């Protein structure tokens, strides 16, 4: 990494953190008095657009979106691969209003967490997977009925570029139970914004929005089949984007 690039990254994070603190603080005093959709736009859309602008100006990371015409008029379940923080900014600004799954502990962070709590997130306890699935199912269904997009990262965590994590069925189950489609999205953000470290590479992130996928029937088999289709589409799209698309290594087992 060159000295110039390191300086640009330093100022990027400095401005990103400063704007986040100022905006969340401002939102804490203004947003509670706004209706939900306007509140979402005020808190999330405007700041995420600012984050994307900083990314473009300081890091020279641009974006090219394919498949914009595939977005349905009615909000549904968005299922996307997860490689970096960038796609969180992008998807939060691109689909509005949008709710996503996050760790419950984040809501306790001063100002940032308080602002996020006003956006109707699906806050879960990751230490209790069974309870978390019930929260996603119940809260997600309520949000979809209120015409709010629900974003699911089925891999559960950020996966390095070139690897693909196992897709959980939570997004497909939510879509089947709500009688709505899954909108699959695939991208290569991790190629320029790696999972680990502070380093960034200039370039153009490719985002592909696929055609909405509907389940064939109901019940566990239909959910599993839909999830397999979404996962297979993501893997093929990753390959089309130039990624080797290798499965992520299995987590190491803790010795007894």
Q: Is 84 exposed, middle or buried (0-12, 13-18, 19+ CB in 10 A)?
A: buried
26, 73, 139, 160, 213 from 86: Cα distances, Å = 23, 25, 25, 13, 25
162-184 mean pLDDT: 93
9, 88, 233, 235 from 245: Cα distances, Å: 28, 21, 12, 6
* Residue 254: pLDDT over 50: no
Q: Is residue 47 part of a domain?
A: no
Region of 197 please: left (phi>0), alpha (psi -120 to 50) or beta. Answer: left
Furthest-apart CA atoms within the chain: distance in Å: 57
Percentage of residues of the chain with pLDDT beyond 90: 67
Mean pLDDT is lowest, of 20-34, 61-75, 226-240, for 20-34
What's the token pair of residue 65? 């979106």
86 lies in some domain: yes
Mean pLDDT of 153-158: 91
The answer to whether position 28 is within a domain reads no
pTM of the model: 0.91
Q: Is residue 238 part of a domain?
A: yes
* 158 part of a folded domain: yes
Q: Confirm if 61 and 200 have CB atoms less than 8 A apart.
A: yes
Of 202, 223, 217, 201, nearest to 77 (Cα)?
Answer: 223
In a domain, 18, yes or no: no
User: Which residue(s) pair with 123 in the sheet?
Assistant: 102
The pLDDT value recorded for residue 98 is 95
Is the residue at 10 inside a domain? no
Q: Which of 83-92, 101-110, 222-231 has the lowest mean pLDDT?
A: 101-110
Q: Summarize pLDDT for 203-213 with one digit per residue, the tens.
A: 999 999 999 99
* Position 256 pLDDT exceeds 50: no
- pLDDT tens-digit readout, 39-62: 999 999 999 999 999 999 999 999
Q: Is 253 inside a domain boundary? A: no
When pLDDT is cut at 50, 70 and 90, the band that residue 129 belongs to is: confident
Q: Using CB atoms within 10 Å of the CB of residue 105, give its burial: 0 to 12 exposed, 13 to 18 middle, 19+ buried.
A: exposed
| Number of domains composing the chain | 1
Query: Quick one: pLDDT band at residue 251, thresholds 50, 70, 90?
Result: low
**Domain residues for 179?**
61-247
Residue 161 has pLDDT above 60, yes or no: yes
43-46: long-range contacts at Cβ-Cβ below 8 A with a sequence spacing of 24 or more? 43/115, 43/118, 43/119, 44/92, 44/93, 44/96, 44/97, 44/98, 44/119, 45/92, 45/93, 45/96
Q: CATH number for the domain including 125?
A: 3.40.1130.10
């Amino acid at each position: 990494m060159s000295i110039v690039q390191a300086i640009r990254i330093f100022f990027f994070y400095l401005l990103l953190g400063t704007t986040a603190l100022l905006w969340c603080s401002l939102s804490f005093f203004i947003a509670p008095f706004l209706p939900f959709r306007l509140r979402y736009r005020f808190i999330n859309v405007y700041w995420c657009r600012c984050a994307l602008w900083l990314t473009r100006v300081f890091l020279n990371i641009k974006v090219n979106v394919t498949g914009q015409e595939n977005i349905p008029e009615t909000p549904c379940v968005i299922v996307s691969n997860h490689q970096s923080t960038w796609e969180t900014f992008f998807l939060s600004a691109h689909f509005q209003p949008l709710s996503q799954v996050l760790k419950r502990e984040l809501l306790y962070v001063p100002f940032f967490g308080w602002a996020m709590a006003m956006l109707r997130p699906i806050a879960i306890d990751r230490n209790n997977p069974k309870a978390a699935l019930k929260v996603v199912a119940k809260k997600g269904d309520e949000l979809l009925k209120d015409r709010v997009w629900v974003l699911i990262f089925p891999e559960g965590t950020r996966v390095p570029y070139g690897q693909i994590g196992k897709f959980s069925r939570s997004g497909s189950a939510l879509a089947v139970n709500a009688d709505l489609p899954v909108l699959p999205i695939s991208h290569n953000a991790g190629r320029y914004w790696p999972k680990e470290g502070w380093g960034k590479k200039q370039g153009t992130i490719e985002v592909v929005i696929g055609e909405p996928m509907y389940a064939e029937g109901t019940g566990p088999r239909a959910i599993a089949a839909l999830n397999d289709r979404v996962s297979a589409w993501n893997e093929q799209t990753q390959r089309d984007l130039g990624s080797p698309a290798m499965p992520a290594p299995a987590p190491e087992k803790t010795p007894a």
